[in-house]
Structure 1
Amino acid sequence: MTDTPPERRRRAPAMDAEQRREMIVRAAMPLVVEHGGGVTTRQIARAAGIGEGTIFRVFADKDAVLDACVGEALRPGPVLDRIAAIPLALPLPDRLVEAAAALRAHLDRLGALLGALHATGGRARIGRQARTGAAPDRAAGTLPVRLALAELFEPERELLRLSPDRLAALFLGLLFAGAADAADAADAADAADAADERPLSSAELVDVLLHGALTDPATPAAPATPATPEGRS
């Protein structure tokens, strides 16, 4: 009886430079959230399971790694994938609640990373990226999100008072009201707490969007009181 030779250990396939960059950024992002700009390349290398020198084969320095993490956090691809996966067979309110949850999770991740960098002196990082062309254009990033949201309204197009695109823009406006800059999201939350205001849940936001501000849409709103002309009591 012949012994079966032991199976040779297979080596992991070699990565190209872009794959290695992506792997390093994925490993670095949770560390940046935890340590901000104080994260070290040794910590990143340990998390990625590589030698520290490997980082510098694809990144010029630690700042380049941090810039890549910001660019990845701003990239809309993951949230677009989540919105595209929402079944159109679901009722419209359920579709929109899922979309709101996906967008809020995206904003939370972005805010956590930028907040950590801001707390450790990285406030100007997005500005530097914008000047060098390394940061994604915000308007360009918002457009595909709006188009993806508009697709969620399409099955009910004949029942809508506004076009799917305009409703998608309104939805985004409601969702991100008070958070014009994601880097200031934590400050905005603190301000809301100070004013004893609870942020709307995703379900509440969708309900207001679809049904308006009145508890009974069939009840007409009271007419606005006409302004008194200047000079008259």
Structure 2
Amino acid sequence: MATPAVESGATRTGRAAPLPPDERRRAILHDVRALVLDRGAAVTTRELALAAGVSEGTLFRVFDDKVTLLRETVHAAVDPVAVVPALDAIDRDLPLDERLTRILEIGFERIGETMRWFAVLHELGRLEPNPQDLLEQRRRTHREWAQHQQAGQLEVRLAVARVLEPDAAALARPVDQVVALLDVVLVGAAMQQGEAARRGTTANIPAIDVLVTHFLHGALAPSTTRSPS
């Protein structure tokens, strides 16, 4: 009697076929993300395995050690490209000030989450051994990550430009320059938040509607008459 063919994607035992290595890696990084953000470097390998739905042995067939897994989780979580779908979802028919408000809301939410992830990264720095033979490997990994971040930030700027493009003719500067100026607002706020966090205080950042009004109309009151240049 002929043996029935096994369908693609399943084993003879009826279990799903194992994921390819890259997919398995991405799945684990996704599944442990919330746990790592909550527990930081104190998370145990058992907790990580439970969150990922795999055995501890599987974790360490994919990642060299716990620190490597946690570091890659942070790197994946702070990928700038993650906000592009939210930016692309902004309704282009909304008034410009409402679109700017949504851009800043997304940006500030992302900044707050990224600061939490960098706190985890700082914790990992205290756990990781520093043998000399690993230094160059870490430098290379950091360079690759920095290049990826730079490419991701470009994707974000392009997404913001797409949101502003319907009003390009009404803007005083080219859209790409307006995007760069908007980035200054977000980065400035992020620096204030970071400095306040280091001091254990709260940053005194204006409300988003105030920032949007100032960004669109400047610091002069509506009744102020500009003197001729």
The answer to whether TM tops 0.5 is: yes
Aligned alpha-carbon RMSD (Å):
3.1
Match of 2:169 in 1: 158
Aligned ranges 1:77-226 → 2 under 5 Å? 77-119=81-123, 121-122=125-126, 131-132=140-141, 133-137=143-147, 138-180=149-191, 185-189=193-197, 193=201, 198-216=204-222, 218-220=223-225
Match of 1:231 in 2: none
Instruction: Give the structure-2-normalised TM-score.
Output: 0.77
**Number of equivalent positions:** 208
User: Which amino acid in structure 2 is aligned with residue 157 of structure 1?
Assistant: A
Shift, 1:169, TM fit: 0.5
Shift, 1:161, TM fit: 0.6
Partner-residue secondary structure (3-state), 1:135: helix
| Partners of 2:98 and 2:225 in 1: CA distance | 27
Would you tell me which structure has more helix in proportion to its own residues?
2
The alpha-carbon distance between structure 1 residues 210 and 130, as it changes in their structure 2 partners (threshold 3 A), is farther
User: Which amino acid in structure 2 is aligned with residue 100 of structure 1?
Assistant: L
**Structure 1: which 5+ residue stretches go unaligned?**
1-8, 224-233
Summarize deviations over 1:165-210 as a string: whole Å, max 9, x none. 1001100111120535xxx95443455946xx52123222211111
CA contact (8 A) 1:117 1:123 kept: no
Match of 2:67 in 1: 63
Shift, 1:10, TM fit: 6.8
Deviates more, 1:43-52 or 1:9-18: 9-18
CA contact (8 A) 1:29 1:113 kept: no
The alpha-carbon distance between structure 1 residues 155 and 130, as it changes in their structure 2 partners (threshold 3 A), is farther
Instruction: Give the structure-1-normalised TM-score.
Output: 0.76
**Structure 2: which 5+ residue stretches go unaligned?**
1-12, 129-135
Summarize deviations over 1:104-127 as a string: whole Å, max 9, x none. 222222111211332464599xx9
| Partners of 2:193 and 2:204 in 1: CA distance | 14
Partner-residue secondary structure (3-state), 2:111: helix
